[in-house]
Amino acid sequence: MTKTVQELFDLTGRTAIVTGGGTHLGTAFTEALCDLGAKVYIASRRSQLCEEVAERLRSRGMDVIGAGCDVTNEVNVDHLVQRVMNDEGRLDIVVCNAGGSFTTSYPPDGNIEEFNRTLEVNLTGTFITSQSAGRVMIPARQGSIITLGSIASTLAMDSRIYNSKFQRSGPPYIAAKGGVLNLTRAMAAEFGEYGITVNCISPGQIPRTDTNIEQVETFRNMIPLRRTGLSQDLKGTVALLSSDAGRWITGQEFRVDGGWSIW
């Protein structure tokens, strides 16, 4: 039966997990999925923050549950996935959004502990979350796993454009996000026969509210669309990749960067 476009994007009755769901991009992903009818569990190590955000979103009529979870801990992640399965009986969508940059030093004096921590949170955490989700999606023979890359997944960073008031990411973050992108392709190959899609969203410059104004202006001038991104600019992409509208898309990177990467 042919579906209308509205029907293709409808997520009514579906259940999602968004890791790192209590801040910045994670909140936008959660709002997008809820707007389309999904129930969303938002999770991070800061369980109290997740519950506060969930309560705020529930006040707006959204079906959101806050939970604690450290994505670098396999037992934690499996427990979260099992909780969702026990409560809802299904897991349709997982957005592996948890991550971050921990860079304070740069080659040739880069700190190996920072390097390992960055890989652990961004790359290992994505692997653990994807595997755990895949184990419950395989019997259902459907599901969508969305990873979070970055323009740093394929591009190095030009240190000349960052001012001294902005803590730029460095090689550890670039290595981690490059790994996330190729992990996405590998997981798509592993899970494809079960009808599970795995895709990567790579955002461009989406500054937080406390980002140095001069740095934001530098970013703006380097973007073809002449503005920096907003977290809501990612909502359409996650809607596509989470829904039946994206069922024939897998192993792909979606750069949402205002054109930053075309220069």
pLDDT of the residue at 209: 87
pLDDT in tens, the chain (263 residues): 899 999 999 999 999 999 999 888 999 999 999 999 999 999 999 999 999 999 999 999 999 999 999 999 999 999 999 999 999 999 999 999 999 999 889 999 999 999 999 999 999 999 999 999 999 999 999 999 999 999 999 999 898 999 888 888 899 999 999 999 999 999 999 999 999 999 999 999 999 988 999 999 999 999 999 999 999 999 999 999 999 999 999 999 999 999 999 99
Distance CA 70, CA 82 (A): 15
Tell me if 67 sits within 8 A of 41, measured CB to CB: yes
Distance CA 99, CA 194 (A): 27
Tell me if 228 sits within 8 A of 203, measured CB to CB: no
- SS3 call for 171: helix
Q: What are the residue ranges spanned by the domains of the chain?
A: 5-257
pLDDT of the residue at 1: 80
Q: CATH class for domain 5-257?
A: alpha beta
Tell me if 34 sits within 8 A of 62, measured CB to CB: yes
pLDDT of the residue at 103: 87
pLDDT of the residue at 23: 87
pTM: predicted TM-score of the whole model, two decimal places: 0.96
> Which amino acid is present at 111?
N
pLDDT of the residue at 19: 98
Which parts of the chain are beta strand (E)?
A: 15-19, 39-44, 64-68, 93-96, 143-148, 196-203, 253-256
